[in-house]
């Protein structure tokens, strides 16, 4: 089923994002252009544009549209930016990032999710996205630095080795808090003199786990 077969749902989808405070026109346009139904499980396609998280393979989720749009808006992306995403999942967030940034490296610990996301992104001609199977909490030193970093799984605290990968002027956004329960979406900005921290909204994400999954 293609996106043009969802006009009422997509209209509500856009209205919901605007009503909830998403105002960046580039983000709104990108959310409309990226076909969310291609990133959900077949059984959930009819509900792809509802403002709710949905289950995907490997016990993970695709975040609700508002959270994707909000996190993207908070990154203040420009076309020259190099972006790191920790937690590829379905690939939906990476597809959104690809329309707004120059390069995207997205890291996934489950091989099944990485392979499926890679195929979806290639189908959509997201040629500026690289999907890497790996441990997003223990990355090799030679892949940084980045202008923007987005973490799409819950961290009990933001690791120093992620913060150190930020360029001056760079922004990192991540859900921070207990793995079970509510986290706070937190934005870090690297300045010439240090790190500025701002707590944004409450969210719920699956936990960020170390290592590459042995199966799946």
Residue 3 bears catalytic tag = no
Q: At CB < 8 A and 24+ separation, what contacts does 71-74 make?
A: 71/150, 71/152, 71/173, 71/185, 72/27, 72/30, 72/96, 72/97, 72/100, 73/22, 73/23, 73/24, 73/27, 74/171, 74/173, 74/185, 74/187, 74/200
* Structure tokens belonging to residue 138: 């223990």
Q: What are phi and psi of 127, to 5 degrees?
A: -75, -10
Residue 43: strand, helix, or coil: helix
Catalytic residue among 23, 52, 63, 98: 63
Question: Which residue carries 């709710």 as its tokens?
Answer: 52
Beta strand pairing call for 103-108 and 166-176: unpaired
Distance set, CA 146 to CA 5, 61, 81, 101, 142 (Å): 37, 25, 8, 11, 11
Residue 144: how many CB atoms within 10 A of its CB?
Answer: 17
Active-site positions read 63
């Amino acid at each position: 089923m293609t996106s043009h077969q969802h006009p009422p749902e997509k209209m509500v989808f856009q209205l919901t994002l605007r009503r909830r405070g998403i105002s960046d026109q580039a983000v709104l346009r990108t959310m409309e252009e990226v076909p969310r139904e291609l990133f959900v499980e077949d059984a959930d396609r009819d509900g792809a544009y509802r403002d709710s998280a949905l289950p995907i393979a490997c016990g993970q989720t695709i975040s609700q549209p508002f959270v994707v749009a909000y996190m993207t808006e908070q990154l203040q992306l420009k076309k020259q930016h190099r972006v790191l995403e920790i937690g590829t999942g379905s690939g939906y967030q990476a597809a959104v990032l690809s329309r707004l940034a120059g390069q995207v490296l997205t890291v996934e610990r489950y091989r099944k999710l990485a392979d499926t996301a890679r195929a979806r992104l290639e189908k959509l001609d997201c040629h500026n996205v690289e999907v890497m199977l790996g441990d997003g909490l223990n990355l090799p030193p030679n892949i940084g630095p980045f202008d923007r970093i987005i973490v799409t799984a819950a961290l009990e605290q933001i690791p120093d080795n992620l913060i150190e990968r930020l360029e001056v002027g760079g922004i990192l956004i991540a859900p921070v808090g207990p793995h079970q329960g509510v986290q706070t979406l937190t934005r870090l900005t690297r300045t010439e003199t240090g790190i500025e921290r701002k707590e944004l909204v409450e969210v719920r994400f699956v936990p960020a786990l170390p290592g590459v999954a042995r199966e799946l």
